Structure 1
Amino acid sequence: MSERAAAPAREQWTGQYGFILAAIGSAVGLGNIWRFPGVAYENGGGAFLIPYLVALLTAGIPVLLLDYSLGHRFRGSAPTVFRRLGKKYEPLGWFQVAISFVIATYYTVIIVWAIRYIGFSIDMSWGEDTTGFFVNDFLRDEGATFSTDIVGGIFWPMLAVWLGVLAVLALGVARGIERANRIFMPLLVILFAAMVVRALFLEGAVDGLNAFFTPNWEALLDANVWIAAYGQIFFSLSIAFGIMLTYSSYLRRRSNVAPTGFVVAFANSSFELLAGIGVFATLGFMAAQQGIAIDDLEGITGVLLSFATFPQIVSMMPGGPIFGILFFTSLALAGLTSLISILQVVSAAFQEKFGLSRVQVSLFIGGLAMVISLVLYSSTSGLAILDTVDKYTNEVGVVLSAIATCLIVTVGARKLPELRAHLNAVSTGNIGRWWSVLIGAVVPIALTVMLVTSLLDLFEEPYSGYPWGFVTAVGWGIVGLMVVASLVYTLVPWRRPVDDFRPEPLPELEEVGR
């Protein structure tokens, strides 16, 4: 019988700046650029900003700090951390790993779409029917089917993206992830800011900004608007499915943890606000060109906003190709920084439990994700599968994970006072009892309401009008697989020490909590 391998020295960020860049890179992703403006458009425009800010302060920042405190105190991947809270809690860690694995498989294809559209922007290859080009000519979409027909124009670029991202992963935390973010994040900010500045000088831009910042107060009485705000915060901040927990575990033991959480949260929301300004300014231009009100525009949500509506705007505006190149390059860069962080959740877990090296994880586990990604999402049924998997993974999987995390920390392991004491011991300033109240009561209640609402909608009628058989197989099937995987991997013996860990002693909790 082989003995367990000794745990190697834990990787670390080179410093606080490297961690902050990587954390912002993870948080600023596809959800900031295409999802936030679309959700705001659907939920009252300026009125949405109020519940969004409330959700950020009452759920986003508190759960982000919870992830930071768990990772930094218990020094491990998601399965390691929850195992150290109690052996019976390890499945939640693997459930978070499964969520990240699933998201990584479809996140890659969206990056590939953005990369291809950089090229299409040069000569506006999409023509006049931008929706038809995207769905029929580019994706060759066959709807809610299980097709094995591969689209070569997606398959080969996706293979290249996967190989590049897995190479970054194999290089490790400091030499791979941190270096990539030091290049990609400043470039993303510069390109996206240039795009927003250009958008502000378009005809009709002021009307778009008025629509974005002028609240529809009646929308605040709609519970769905508040649910959408909490959903957006969880989607965009990369919380409750292992990313920030894993990233914070690579911080040095003496790090100013809590303030970095505030920096990352507000940087992410600032970028979303910037995206909203840029997108609504261009929508104002589009409405002016068509001679209609902004409220009457179509295709302003999700995938179609980026790959149908924006190409249409690019075709209308002077200097359109440059605008298109800026937009789709920004989209690709935002996706890449987030994809790297998502895959690190998976990599860290398999390194720690199975004693694998970074290169081995990249080859075997990353290779498996790549094959699944290529087979499912470069096929002619990729769009419907992506849409369904994304819906169920985020609105069921991530929300379940967040609720379970809050309950385990508060009621199960009873670690909330210890985690607050840890944050205060390693941070300037003081995290008060408000944080304990939010994590112990407000967040789980709000997320439970959100989850129940989503489940009622999903059970009432098939998502997006897809056949029940397709939705059940793909949507509920992926949730079921994640649950099964979390249980199976928990049963596998650890190859590296995990239970002999002892967190650093803290000052008296009463003194820290004053």
Structure 2
Amino acid sequence: MAAAGAAVGLGNIWGFPTQAASNGGGAFLITYLVLVMVLGFPMLVMEVAIGRHGQANPVDSVRKLGRTPLQKAMASLVGYAGMLVPSLVLSFYAIVAGWLLAFLAAAVTRILGWDSATTWLQAFGLERNIVWTLAFYLLTILVVQAGVRRGIERWSARLMPALFVLFLLLFFYILTQDGAMVGLKHYLVPDFGKVLEPDLLISAMGQAFFSLTIGGCSMLMYGSYLNNKENIPRTAFQVTLIDTGVAFLAGLVILPAMFVAMHNGVTIFAEDGSLLSSDTLVFVVLPALFDTMGPIGLVMALVFFVLMGIAALTSSISMLEVPVSYTTERFKAPRPLVTWLLGGGLALFSVIICLNFGTLFGLVIRLSTQNIQPLVGLGFCVLGGWMWGRARLFEELVQGSPELAASTFWRIWPWYVRIVCPLLVLLVIGSSW
């Protein structure tokens, strides 16, 4: 549940519906679900297994897979690249989470009747974006620098079911609104002619890796916390199921709500059919949805954004924890000092992105989630499948699941993750060139 809390966040509720709306709805959904199962889950098993075997930070964990100095050096390069991913992701993630905090504050000011404050909080102005991005960094740094992980993860595990329930309530409410069924059809009925489009494939793979944090070292780090009695394939499947379930539910709410908002006069698509302001889509559609619900909508908005704030924070602390844990272990530096230095540096980078939003925001997202992250996940598969070796990999997995030796999973998965997964990743990446 702690790992699921780290995986479930803005990637599910902001990233997935945005990508689905931008890439044909149902066509993106079916491609995403297929890639999650044929790529995401098998690679997640490998990353968690490497983490449990290493019992250390990402770089030292992958180094233990090598048997010679050259192999250890090659593994270290993959580990360092993997540590770059959560830092890049956090740099744009904190901006989106800042928008989330602003809308949470707006839900409060609207209840209090402070109209001018509500208007400022809901407008995507530069000043507001920087202030709330820094506020989110402050929350993340305070949690990580104290080393307090279990408390917020325990609460996240308790509140994730509440997020499921809230999504279901919103979904059933949306179905009563005009335009909802058109949006539902757009989301659930795929246009199979678009499924193999290169841009859609690369977007779906990037979203699968971003949402499950594959290649981002967070799951490797959580794997390092597992004891030898844990069944790694089962644990990885549970995380995949929870994460994908939240994304699917988010799509069930956001896409029909988008068409409800269009029916109510909100402009969503440009004349050429492209999505307007795709990055801020969720923050346009959800307030419009809550406005249709009358007084109860104010309460629903407050509850929703509180739960989303918790989900965002549980993901961000795992991102910052990756470089912090490495630095504190390697250099024996005080955790508070390291956390403030690294967090402050990333906050400065996020401010630079805000100042150059049109140029840098989308670029950093593509670079981290669609380019570097899949390649790092590919590196973990190659290191684990070939350098680590089948025999040592079997010894690691069988510790928590003795029945694995005679299972169909073990007969297929080692070769699948060594050969098929790398080829699929390269094929999808190559299709975009």
Given the superposition, is the C-alpha separation of residues 351 and 192 from structure 1 closer, same or farther in structure 2, using an over 3 Å criterion? Answer: farther
1:114 paired residue number: 100
Q: Give the distance between the partners of 2:431 and 2:247, measured in 1 at CA.
A: 25
Contact preservation (8 Å) 1:400, 1:451: no
**Paired residue for 1:72, among 52, 70, 93?**
52
Residues 126-137 of structure 1: pairs in structure 2 closer than 5 A: none
Q: Give the distance between the partners of 1:384 and 1:325, measured in 2 at CA.
A: 32
Residues 243-262 of structure 1: pairs in structure 2 closer than 5 A: 243-262=218-237
Q: Give the distance between the partners of 2:132 and 2:269, measured in 1 at CA.
A: 35
Matched, 1:39 2:19: yes
Cα distance, 1:331 vs. partner?
A: 3.7
Amino acid of the structure 1 residue aligned with 2:222? Y
Q: Give the distance between the partners of 1:311 and 1:174, measured in 2 at CA.
A: 31
Cα distance, 1:351 vs. partner?
A: 2.2
- Could you say what secondary structure the match of 1:250 adopts? coil
Cα distance, 1:168 vs. partner?
A: 1.6
Cα distance, 1:27 vs. partner?
A: 1.2
Given the superposition, is the C-alpha separation of residues 306 and 291 from structure 1 closer, same or farther in structure 2, using an over 3 Å criterion? Answer: closer
1:505 paired residue number: none
Could you list the runs of 5+ residues in structure 1 that have no partner in the other structure?
1-20, 141-150, 457-514
Contact preservation (8 Å) 1:169, 1:176: no
Amino acid of the structure 2 residue aligned with 1:304? T
Cα distance, 1:68 vs. partner?
A: 0.8
Cα distance, 1:294 vs. partner?
A: 9.1
Amino acid of the structure 2 residue aligned with 1:439? V
1:459 paired residue number: none
Given the superposition, is the C-alpha separation of residues 160 and 51 from structure 1 closer, same or farther in structure 2, using an over 3 Å criterion? Answer: closer
Matched, 1:446 2:424: yes
Given the superposition, is the C-alpha separation of residues 255 and 294 from structure 1 closer, same or farther in structure 2, using an over 3 Å criterion? Answer: same
**Paired residue for 2:283, among 307, 320, 340?**
307
Indicate the larger mover: 177-186 or 440-449.
177-186
Identity among equivalent positions (%) equals 28
Given the superposition, is the C-alpha separation of residues 194 and 75 from structure 1 closer, same or farther in structure 2, using an over 3 Å criterion? Answer: same
1:55 paired residue number: 35
Contact preservation (8 Å) 2:18, 2:282: no
What is the CA deviation profile of residues 22-55 of structure 1, one whole-angstrom value per residue up to 9, with x for unaligned ones?
2111111212112222322343433333322221
Contact preservation (8 Å) 1:97, 1:242: yes
Could you list the runs of 5+ residues in structure 2 that have no partner in the other structure?
67-71
1:332 paired residue number: 309
Q: Of the two, which has the highest radius of gyration? A: 1
Amino acid of the structure 2 residue aligned with 1:404? G
Amino acid of the structure 1 residue aligned with 2:85? I
Given the superposition, is the C-alpha separation of residues 166 and 427 from structure 1 closer, same or farther in structure 2, using an over 3 Å criterion? Answer: farther
Contact preservation (8 Å) 2:156, 2:310: no
Given the superposition, is the C-alpha separation of residues 417 and 50 from structure 1 closer, same or farther in structure 2, using an over 3 Å criterion? Answer: farther
- The two structures, once aligned, show a CA RMSD in angstroms of 3.3
TM-score (norm 1): 0.72
TM-score (norm 2): 0.84
**Paired residue for 2:81, among 95, 104, 110?**
95
Amino acid of the structure 2 residue aligned with 1:209? L
2:201 paired residue number: 226
Contact preservation (8 Å) 2:159, 2:307: no
Contact preservation (8 Å) 1:406, 1:440: yes
What is the CA deviation profile of residues 450-502 of structure 1, one whole-angstrom value per residue up to 9, with x for unaligned ones?
32344x3xxxxxxxxxxxxxxxxxxxxxxxxxxxxxxxxxxxxxxxxxxxxxx
Q: Give the distance between the partners of 1:222 and 1:155, measured in 2 at CA.
A: 36
Amino acid of the structure 2 residue aligned with 1:101? S
Given the superposition, is the C-alpha separation of residues 289 and 70 from structure 1 closer, same or farther in structure 2, using an over 3 Å criterion? Answer: same
Cα distance, 1:367 vs. partner?
A: 3.5
Contact preservation (8 Å) 2:54, 2:224: yes
Cα distance, 1:409 vs. partner?
A: 2.6
Given the superposition, is the C-alpha separation of residues 364 and 222 from structure 1 closer, same or farther in structure 2, using an over 3 Å criterion? Answer: closer
- Could you say what secondary structure the match of 1:391 adopts? helix
1:347 paired residue number: 324
What is the CA deviation profile of residues 334-384 of structure 1, one whole-angstrom value per residue up to 9, with x for unaligned ones?
3212111111211221122112343343233334333443x424x533454
Cα distance, 1:268 vs. partner?
A: 0.7
Q: Give the distance between the partners of 2:130 and 2:269, measured in 1 at CA.
A: 36
Q: Give the distance between the partners of 1:49 and 1:420, measured in 2 at CA.
A: 34
Higher helix share: 2
1:10 paired residue number: none
